[in-house]
Amino acid sequence: MSLYERMQNELQQLAATGNLRSLPHIEHHDTKVTVKGKQMLNLSSNDYLGLASRTELRAEFLATIQPETFQPTSSSSRLLTGNYLAYEQVEQQMATLFGTESALVFNSGYHANLGILPAVCNAQTLILADKLVHASLIDGIRLSTSKCIRYRHNHYIQLERLIEEHQHTYEQIIVVTESIFSMDGDKANLSELVRLKKAYPNVLLYVDEAHAFGVRGEKGLGVAEEEGCVQEIDFLVGTFGKALASAGAYIVCKKVLREYLINKMRTLIFTTALPPVCLSWISFLLERLPQFKAERKHLMHISEQLKQALISKGFDCPSDSHILPMIVGDSRATIATAETLQKKGFYALPVRPPTVPEGTSRIRFSLTAALTESEIQQLIEAL
């Protein structure tokens, strides 16, 4: 069979099981989207604080740049000539906000998770990763030369057993988790992970806060801030593309780790740095991040309302956050449910295998602070 024939066959198979994906043609108007001529409320955005649709913020930012100071490209890797001042400014801001020795910016969360573990791991490292960590972490683990064992989701008894069993065989054990998980919206117990780290001297913690940065904690720094354990997380990673309405990602960490990554991390070294204008926008929003308390509170409030409604309609809802799954089970039934919701004006998307385990296809609601309480009420009535 030729490659083309094989691809055609596999695509047909995906279509037959309701798992074929395609790129949607989509137009955006603030919290609404138009798809196939129909305008709907966007319930699938990662603009968690609603900052991306705030015209007054854009205007204020644009007033700070002129054609002479607008920097649309870095034209180079940061290690060559791409390290514009805006980079150092954002890293200084991040280290100050978190109270860490240093911070380092990457082109995306995918670059961060793809590059960090392969850079720091070797054959004497064991990676213990939660069964449900994001694909970018899985790919980073695959690229590393270390052995990896996946523990059952949030199952810290099994995790501790694995640590006990392997603590003397490896120099270093790195425990990898998300703080808020992408698909169930549930939370890791960072305090318990910190307890494990303190109980076993060669354990390090890697926490991906992609869904929590901006949203959780007094200043919006994430679950680690909320739980008061920023200093205990060795690799505290998050992205700027979600709540911060921009692009890029960060790690906040010790100086020695930052310097090591600059020397060893291939997804930092061998790529053109993000446009400086993007870093200026990040910096502009970081200055204001601690002040978006009302947005964080409102987001928590409408999330709790939707969660209670899902539970009262008989759905299991493991979520502790603004990401709320409505687990239907079968892929085709899930697609049909999504289509019904879309007909009613709600753009919520089905998530199917292989993104989630077989038999747990779901509608994934991803709420933002730009949604109003009455819009959430209308959604609840439509369910």
Ligand X SMILES: *Cc1c(COP(=O)(O)O)cnc(C)c1O
Residue 113 CB, shortest distance to ligand X, in Å, is 5
Query: Judged by CB, which is closer to ligand X: 249, or 261?
Result: 249
Residue 104 CB, shortest distance to ligand X, in Å, is 14
Query: Judged by CB, which is closer to ligand X: 367, or 383?
Result: 367
Cα–Cα distance for residue pair 307/317, rounded to 1 Å: 7
Query: Judged by CB, which is closer to ligand X: 140, or 350?
Result: 140
Query: Judged by CB, which is closer to ligand X: 243, or 310?
Result: 243
Q: Does 109 bind ligand X (CB under 6 A)?
A: yes
Binding mask 136-155 for ligand X (x = CB under 6 A): x-------------------
Residue 44 CB, shortest distance to ligand X, in Å, is 13
Residue 147 CB, shortest distance to ligand X, in Å, is 22
Query: Judged by CB, which is closer to ligand X: 50, or 337?
Result: 50
3-state secondary structure the chain: CCHHHHHHHHHHHHHHCCCCCCCCCEEEECCEEEECCEEEEECECCCCCCHHHCHHHHHHHHCCCCCCCCCCCCCCCCCCCCCCHHHHHHHHHHHHHHCCCEEEEECCHHHHHHHHHHHHCCCCEEEEEECCCCHHHHHHHHHCCCEEEEECCCCHHHHHHHHHHHCCCCCEEEEEEECECCCCCCECCHHHHHHHHHHCCCEEEEEECCCCCCCCCCCCCCHHHHCCCHHHCCEEEEECCCCCCCCCEEEEECHHHHHHHHHHCHHHHCCCCCCHHHHHHHHHHHHHHHHCHHHHHHHHHHHHHHHHHHHHCCCCCCCCCCEEEEEEECHHHHHHHHHHHHHCCEECEEECCCCCCCCCEEEEEECCCCCCHHHHHHHHHHC
Q: Does 108 bind ligand X (CB under 6 A)?
A: yes
Residue 336 CB, shortest distance to ligand X, in Å, is 26
Q: Does 130 bind ligand X (CB under 6 A)?
A: no
Q: Shortest CA distance to 268 belongs to which of 256, 245, 252, 251?
A: 251
Q: Rule CB under 6 A: choose which of 78, 134, 216, 352 binds ligand X.
A: 134
- Using CB under 6 A, which residues numbered 194 to 213 contact ligand X? 208, 210-211
Query: Judged by CB, which is closer to ligand X: 127, or 383?
Result: 127
Query: Judged by CB, which is closer to ligand X: 167, or 355?
Result: 355
Contact stretch for ligand X (CB under 6 A) within 30-38, 108-116, 161-169, 332-340: 108-116
Q: Count residues near ligand X (CB under 6 A).
A: 14
Query: Judged by CB, which is closer to ligand X: 28, or 161?
Result: 28
Query: Judged by CB, which is closer to ligand X: 108, or 125?
Result: 108
Q: Rule CB under 6 A: choose which of 74, 102, 182, 283 binds ligand X.
A: 182
Contact stretch for ligand X (CB under 6 A) within 15-23, 59-67, 103-111, 344-352: 103-111
Residue nearest to ligand X (CB): 109
Residue 286 CB, shortest distance to ligand X, in Å, is 16
Asked if 162 contacts 135 with a C-beta cutoff of 8 angstroms, the reply is no
Cα–Cα distance for residue pair 345/175, rounded to 1 Å: 42
Q: Does 178 bind ligand X (CB under 6 A)?
A: yes
Provide the sign of the torsion angle of the four alpha carbons 334, 335, 340, 344, taken in this order: positive
Cα–Cα distance for residue pair 365/225, rounded to 1 Å: 25
Q: Does 222 bind ligand X (CB under 6 A)?
A: no
Residue 237 CB, shortest distance to ligand X, in Å, is 8
Binding mask 245-284 for ligand X (x = CB under 6 A): ----x-----------------------------------
Show Cβ contacts of residue 194 under 8 Å, excluding neighbours closer than 6 positions. 205, 227, 229, 232, 233
Residue 171 CB, shortest distance to ligand X, in Å, is 27
Instruction: Give the residues lining the site for ligand X (CB under 6 A).
Output: 108-110, 113, 134, 136, 178, 182, 208, 210-211, 239, 241, 249
